[in-house]
Structure 1
Amino acid sequence: MTVPAMMKAAVMTEPRLIVTEERPVPQPDEHEALVKVMAVGVCGSDVHYFEHGKIGSAIVRYPMILGHECAGEVVAVGKAVTRLKPGDRVAIEPQTTCGRCSACKSGKYNLCPEVEFFATPPIDGAFAQYVKMREDYLFPIPDSLSYEEAALIEPFSVGIHAANRTGLKPGSSVAIMGMGPVGLLAVVAARAYGASRIYVTDLEPVRLEAAKRLGATHAINVREQDAVETIKALNGGSGVDVAWETAGNPRALQSALLSLKRGGKLAVVGLPVEAEIPLNVHFITDHEVDIYGVFRYADTYAAGIEILASGIADVRTLVTDRYSLDRTQEAMERALNNKSGSLKVIVYPNG
């Protein structure tokens, strides 16, 4: 395949300003492949960096390229690459790790202190026509899976990781607080792991309706109903086996905790602005609640591709807004300002 010397990239040059620039096409080393990026989802973290220029201690160094939910086509490979060839369609796991530290060797490579993650300062992301990636973080996708669906494997992986962390089992009841894209895809993960009752909460009707289409058994608008009381009433008076908080909202986290039965498990997925949030310690100890932090994911992509390729849910319905690369500024503004209408915004660097 002919690979150009230069490419277009959507570059954030200051807070809330993205411009299209010409950049050299990355040159893959012997263990890397060059991927022509076909679809990139706009993530909540992208929006936060766009609006505020930082997330916690991660501070943007301008200029920077955002975007990490991505998929594309391999166009060139390094001389040591054995698993891939030009023409392969791939989902891109947007992180590389050292492979040597105790976290990597124990299988928790998401906790590697040397991890380099797309669009996390100072690493550039995928709002560009080409990216390079180590071959072990590229996963071939079947022809039946679109590039948009393959890009959604990234946020879907968070739900899979939450399911693994909390030991979700067939027949379990689960409450998922917050129906942003991660929460919506967590509904699909809960279905895939066999949850029999999936209770979801949110403020926006469009998101609750989307959750029901994806398999939620009960959708609760917290503007109209008390989440904890409603979940227990629907669940036969008992709390749920597992609760995942995916919104990064303090009240949602408190509700997730209080929705649990005795011996229940809580996963903290969403990141609130505040580092410290009051939680009912008496409830935690009296109910012997297990609490799990969820930081990205590890070893989820193969399973994620298999699950979505099975047709368990039509996640393409989540894509509500589509933009070309030179309209990335508009895409970010849309994701920032249209939370009541947009579910997933996708940018097409080569479309």
Structure 2
Amino acid sequence: MGKTMKALRMYGPYDFRYEDVPVPEISEDEILVKIDTAGICAGDVKTLHGGIRIWGTGDSDRYIQAPCIGGHEFFGKVVEKGSNVAGIEIGERMISEQIVPCNNCSYCRSGKYWMCRQSDVYGFKDHTQGGFAEYMKFHKNAINHKIPEKLSREQAVLIEPFACSMHAVERGKICHNDVVVISGLGAIGLGMVTIARTHAPRLLIGLDMKENRLQKAKEFGADIVLNPAETDVAEEIEKLTGGYGCDVYIEAAGSEKSVNQGLKAIRNLGRYVQFGVFKDLISADWNIIGDTKEIDILGSHLGPYCYDAVIQGMADGSIKTDGIVSHTFKMCDWEKAFETAEIGPDAIKVAMRP
């Protein structure tokens, strides 16, 4: 390999640049991976458009350390390893969990590493550069997993988003008699559908405004799919549940309307899971949560302890993935890739390859 590589770096809102950068240098505890494929997350698109969650309102609350190589959905093959690295061989396919824990804070020490106070996610920090590049360094504190050869490229690039799907479903504590609603059927929402199906809920409902995603949800196990642009979702869910509402509502759209729809559709004592990320601050009637319905509000962040289970589920076929990767571009065509991810009528998961 040469001393430089091509990478997509983020300098500011609307200022991404595909340019030459040095190939990362690794320590004796790290590995260097040649990136095979990297997925574009909805959060990456929101980052391009100046999402306040990433860029903040100024230096004091800015999450990203720009310029930075983006990309937290990735996998590749090991091409170099440090002298202290054991159990990993050159040529093996590897994925690294999206967060690199500090291993020192109280969350890390208690095993809740995904809530690490440093919150160093690949693709946003100086020392955790991401996978939108030819090569990537897996940090010495990284949590890495081997990818079996039987998984296709399209499956491997979905491990990270589906790990997020699995964690959100687990947060909902789905039981066999539950009516479960998943709002937003992008790649992660569809992952939630196929994983929620394995919990055997009484009724599984998917919500989206794109017909191809609704049909894919039915393929993946949804009993009913609804388009909020055509149906009063809360009213329809009341009809389906004898006027009570759903037991579990998982918000995966990152939409203010989806949030308020969920608060209206959920039953008294229901469980609301917030996974979707919002570009801007939103408003909701907070009284519904306490004074009206006494809802359990549960956040869902990343995919802790889910990677191996997702890999196994993909390998044995219990987790469906067919057709989720809808488009693949060369990384040099990143502008077209991001545009497709944002507004492509048939796009679900858009991926890039160096």
The TM-score with structure 2 as length reference comes to 0.90
Deviation for aligned residue 1:170: 4.0
Query: What is the aligned partner in structure 2 of residue 347 from structure 1?
Result: 352
Find the partner of 1:138 among 120, 134, 144.
144
Partner of 1:231: 237
The corresponding residue for 1:315 is 321
Residue 28 of structure 2 is matched in structure 1 by: 30
**Is 1:75 aligned with 2:82?**
no
Match of 1:198 in 2: 204
Q: Work out the CA distance in 1 between the residues paired with 2:198 and 2:91.
A: 30
Identify which range, 7-16 or 40-49, moves more after superposition: 7-16
236-245 vs 35-44, which moves further: 236-245
Of 298-307 and 267-276, the range deviating more from structure 2: 267-276
Q: What SS class does the counterpart of residue 229 from structure 2 fall into?
A: coil
CA distance in 2, matches of 1:229, 1:23: 54
Q: Percent identity?
A: 32
| Distance (whole Å) between structure 1 residues aligned to residue 161 and residue 14 of structure 2 | 23
- Does the 8 Å CA contact 1:6/1:24 hold for their aligned counterparts? yes
Structure 1 position 214 matched with structure 2 position 212: no
- Equivalent residues of 1:188, 1:313 under 8 A apart: yes
| 109, 112, 120: which one aligns with 2:113 | 109
Between 1:176-185 and 1:163-172, the stretch displaced more is: 163-172
String of CA shifts for 1:4-47, please: whole Å, max 9, x gaps. Answer: 43322123455435443222221222222111110111011111
Q: State the SS of the aligned residue for 2:94.
A: strand
Q: Pick from 44, 47, 60: which aligns with 1:46? A: 44
Structure 1 match to 2:59: none
For structure 2, list consecutive stretches of 5 or more residues without a partner in the other structure. 57-61
Query: Which SS does the other structure have where 1:160 is aligned?
Result: helix
Q: Contact 2:7–2:20 (CA<8 Å) still a contact in 1?
A: yes
Deviation at 1:257, TM superposition (A): 2.3
In the other structure, the counterpart of 1:128 is 133
Q: 1:105 to 1:167 in 2, by over 3 A?
A: farther
Which among 178, 195, 198 is matched to residue 172 of structure 1?
A: 178
Q: Distance in 2 between matches of 1:4 and 1:86?
A: 18
- TM-score under structure 1 length normalisation: 0.90
What do the CA deviations read for 1:41-65 (whole angstroms, capped 9, x no partner)?
1011111111226535246554332
Secondary structure (helix, strand or coil) at the match of 1:317 reads coil
Query: What is the CA distance between 1:218 and its match in structure 2?
Result: 0.7
Of residues 213-222 and 269-278 in structure 1, the stretch that sits farther from structure 2 once superposed is 269-278
2-structure distance, mates of 1:91, 1:148: 13
Which residue is equivalent to 1:8?
6
In the alignment, the residues of structure 2 paired with residue 98 and residue 59 of structure 1 have an alpha-carbon distance, to the nearest angstrom, of 16
Structure-1 residue corresponding to 2:154 = 148
User: What amino acid is aligned across from residue 116 of structure 1 in structure 2?
Assistant: D
- Name the aligned partner's letter for residue 130 of structure 1: Y
Q: 1:95 aligned to 76, 95, 99, which one?
A: 99
Deviation at 1:334, TM superposition (A): 1.7
C-alpha contact (below 8 Å) 1:90/1:150 kept by paired residues: no
Contact kept, 8 Å, 2:180 with 2:247, in 1: the verdict is yes
Deviation of 1:163 after TM superposition, in Å, equals 1.9
Unpaired runs of 5+ residues, structure 1, are none
1:264 is matched with 270
Mapped contact 2:188–2:252 kept (Cα < 8 A): yes
User: 1:329–1:17: structure 2 CA closer, same or farther, 3 Å change rule?
Assistant: farther
Aligned mates of 1:250, 1:54 — CA distance in 2: 15
Q: Which amino acid aligns with 1:243?
A: Y
Q: How far does residue 259 in structure 1 lie from its aligned partner after superposition?
A: 2.2
Report deviation, 1:220: 0.2
What is the identity, as a one-letter code, of the residue corresponding to 2:347? S
Return closer, same or farther for 1:84/1:243 CA change in 2, 3 Å cut-off: same
| 1:348 to 1:281, Cα distance in 2 relative to 1, 3 A | same
> Residue 45 of structure 2 aligns to which amino acid in structure 1?
V
